[in-house]
Structure 1
Amino acid sequence: MCSFFQITSNRTCGDFSLWNQPMGSPVSFVWSRMAACGGNAKNKVTVHKPVWDFLNKETPSKLNRLREDSGVRILIDGETSEIYVLRLSFDSHVTAHTISLVRKALKSLLKDTEKELKKSCKQHQISGCMAYTDKNSEHAGELHLRSVYSRGQQSTSSRGLPSSSGGASGSHGNSRDHRREEAEDDRENQCPICLGEIQNIKTLEKCQHSFCEDCITRALQVKKACPMCGRFYGQLVGNQPENGRMLVSKDSSLLLPGYEKYGTIIIQYVFPPGIQGSEHPNPGVRYPGTTRVAYLPDCPEGNKVLTLFKKAFDQRLTFTIGTSMTTGRPNVITWNDIHHKTNCTGGPQLFGYPDPTYLLRVQEELRAKGITAD
């Protein structure tokens, strides 16, 4: 199966109409030119636009982690109506081997994102539509979709009752209201996990989302978080090395772009070398020490994030031990999907400021791990 970001000169992929163009057409010529531009270059990768947009919108922390670990900037070097050509740019000279490793890591991330996008689209179709098949007709096997409002439409149209006000518009308005109410009732009585009518309703205390008791019990055994909103139930503990320290200082003279009215909070994470424990990938194997520095604005919202960072560090969630996405070196301390600003300037591409939505985004990342202010 072809990935969205792999460019082909034939028609093995049929998910998008662009891949179904005949050979020799202007579109196929553009594809071949883009493939030559991005497919074989060591520092370029081609990606379908929906995949890239989904990655930046839904899981930016994964992309930020790749950027931070590798020191790479990912730039859009060219595009057609369907794809982007991404170029990997490094601040300093790196070896061809390092570029190859980073390119491989990016392609792997895009593959995973493609799967998540397809899964998200599938779940959206299932939750928003009801599929049925007429097994007795000559068109058996053909999939039809009808709106969840269809039940309301059938019930109101079959009655054929005139409006109490005598006007056609009033009748249509009442029908629409009735269908809307029925649809809302259906959604309230539907379990988001099994998509059937809720049996033995169980409502989660913090977020008030309701499920079948059996469904939510099984779901919480897999992950102690609400399947609807991701709010965490219970305390998640990571495998961050226990011998690390989180040092916090403030500098009123250091001003971050976008927060010039405030000083800066400087966070320093220090980890000496150690030996992996039973919760790590390779117990008994040594790992090297590391030091990381991050920056927050010394404003109310920045101090709120600082408090959440402290909780995450205490619960051993900020770092983990794994394989470096930059060097491919195993058994090292790496970030654990909680995005930090490691530069004061340069914007999001350099993991710095200005970045107006950063404080809100990082709170969402923390919330996904159960780290909240309450």
Structure 2
Amino acid sequence: MSFTQDYSGSALNGAAKEEGATAGDNEDENCCICLDTFKNKKQLKCKHEFCEDCLSKSVETMGPICPLCKYVFGRIQGFQPDGKMTWKTKRTSLPGFPGCGTIVINYDMQGGRQAARHPNPRPDNEVIWHNIHHKTSKSGGPQCFGYPDPDYLSRVREELKVNGIE
């Protein structure tokens, strides 16, 4: 994966905590990943703590995301192919959203396939930006990633909130 692993300052809440306790901590606490006593304890800004090696292995598989609360503590690069994104607005409404305009996003992906490192490379995957689902059809309802979908905006708001955007 291609992201910045920065376990200092910006990514973590301070430097490594190998000694001393923080509020609510006691020396008998264990890492929730390996279930063993902390080794080189690291604390993220979200206050969750892990062994340095456990956090590094988690970052290798999940990216710089807290394994407990999904707080993003670094730069994430997805599995998308090279390409370009453009957008435009239209005055037309979509089913279920009368009187609202439409934002049309166009993706021009070179070769049309996700990169080989993607866990499931296919040309027809749903479009997702860091766990934020996008609609890819004007019709067909939620089962076809389309409209009408009365719960879509509330789901997107929740997905944004999980990613720290309110």
Tell me, yes or no, whether TM beats 0.5: yes
- 1:358 deviation in Å? 2.8
Partner residue in 1 for 2:54 = 215
Partner residue in 1 for 2:80 = 240
* Amino acid corresponding to residue 48 of structure 2 in structure 1: H
The correspondence of residues 283-322 of structure 1 with structure 2, limited to 5 A, is 287=111, 320-321=114-115
- 1:219 deviation in Å? 2.8
Judge conservation of contact 2:139–2:147 (CA < 8 Å) in 1: yes
Match of 2:101 among 263, 266, 271: 263
Deviations 1:326-351 (A, max 9, x none): xxxxx974537614312223311232
Match of 2:88 among 249, 252, 258: 249
Residues in 1 aligned to 2:106 and 2:59: alpha-carbon distance in whole angstroms: 35
Partner residue in 2 for 1:231 = 71
Match of 1:196 among 23, 36, 45: 36
Q: Secondary structure at the match of 2:59?
A: helix
Residues in 1 aligned to 2:109 and 2:74: alpha-carbon distance in whole angstroms: 27
1:246/1:219 CA distance change after superposition, 3 Å: closer
Residues in 2 aligned to 1:337 and 1:202: alpha-carbon distance in whole angstroms: 34
Q: Secondary structure at the match of 2:114?
A: strand
How many residues end up aligned between the 2 structures? 133
Deviations 1:287-320 (A, max 9, x none): 4xx5xxxxxxxxxxxxxxxxxxxxxxxxxxxx61
Larger radius of gyration: 1
Q: Secondary structure at the match of 1:320?
A: coil
Higher relative contact order structure (alpha carbons within 8 Å, sequence separation ≥ 6): 2
1:203/1:190 CA distance change after superposition, 3 Å: same
- 1:267 deviation in Å? 1.3
Residues in 1 aligned to 2:56 and 2:146: alpha-carbon distance in whole angstroms: 42
The correspondence of residues 48-197 of structure 1 with structure 2, limited to 5 A, is 189-197=29-37
- 1:236 deviation in Å? 2.5
Judge conservation of contact 2:127–2:136 (CA < 8 Å) in 1: no
1:215/1:238 CA distance change after superposition, 3 Å: closer
Q: Find out whether 1:335 has 2:125 as its counterpart.
A: yes
Partner residue in 2 for 1:352 = 146
1:344/1:211 CA distance change after superposition, 3 Å: same
Structure 1 or 2: more helix by fraction: 1
Deviations 1:19-53 (A, max 9, x none): xxxxxxxxxxxxxxxxxxxxxxxxxxxxxxxxxxx
1:195/1:366 CA distance change after superposition, 3 Å: same
Which runs of 5 or more residues in structure 2 are unaligned?
A: 1-23
* Amino acid corresponding to residue 125 of structure 2 in structure 1: W
Judge conservation of contact 1:337–1:365 (CA < 8 Å) in 2: no
Judge conservation of contact 1:250–1:264 (CA < 8 Å) in 2: yes
1:321/1:363 CA distance change after superposition, 3 Å: farther
So what's the TM-score if we normalise by structure 2? 0.56
